[in-house]
Amino acid sequence: MIIGIASDHRGFKLKEKLKKYFKKKKIEFIDYGTDSGVLCDYNDYAIRVCDAINAGEITYGILICGTGIGMSICANKVPGIMCAKVDSAYEAKVSKMHNNANVISFSGEILFLEAKDIVDTFLKSSFSDEERYSRRINKIKELENRSHTKKKEDNKKCDNKEKEEKVGKEIEKDKKEKKTEKEKSKE
């Protein structure tokens, strides 16, 4: 198990404390940034962790920003990611047990001991194979697939519309040229 961890500037200090804790506990991790408390956009770092999960580089992700909300919203836009914004160890536990979350996010404003408890609980929890939870996860995956299929269809419609507009412009151009030729031939 390899953990990916990332933060924005507001989660940087807490991320650094968690990294020290991981080293002490011999938990393997990869830091996906940021590397300082300088103002930055959380999106850039959330995407790095999510892409690493989808590439098989890491098993789980931990995202920390001012509230945990922005990171969670961003992460959940990435196909294959189930990110839960958690505020307690209990929420971390059920995010994995009931929702099969592979990423958690939380506020950089919480105490280190709370963050440590949240992370430990998340990492030791596992997905429940109860039918009701699997059924719900499958519905979420269907929704994710539906939205990506719709985007592909919309892109095709845009491509077709652009082609139609281009053909229409060419037809208009041909008509104007023929009209000009007729007018010239009358002279």
30-82 pLDDT tens trace:
999 999 999 999 999 999 999 999 999 999 999 999 999 999 999 999 999 99
User: CA-to-CA distance for 20 and 8, rounded, in angstroms?
Assistant: 18
Sheet strand arrangement including 3-7: 29-31, 3-7, 60-65, 103-107, 83-85
User: CA-to-CA distance for 173 and 165, rounded, in angstroms?
Assistant: 12
127-169 pLDDT tens trace:
998 999 999 999 988 988 886 666 666 666 666 667 677 776 7
CB atoms within 10 A of CB 121: 20
Of 39, 41, 66, 47, the C-alpha closest to 4 is 47
The one-letter amino acid code at 27 reads: I
pTM of the model: 0.79
Give the catalytic positions in this structure.
65, 98
User: CA-to-CA distance for 5 and 114, rounded, in angstroms?
Assistant: 16
Cα 2 off chain centre by: 18
| 12 three-class SS | helix
9-20 pLDDT tens trace:
999 999 999 999
DSSP 8-class letter at 89: H
- Band the pLDDT of 187: cuts 50, 70, 90: low
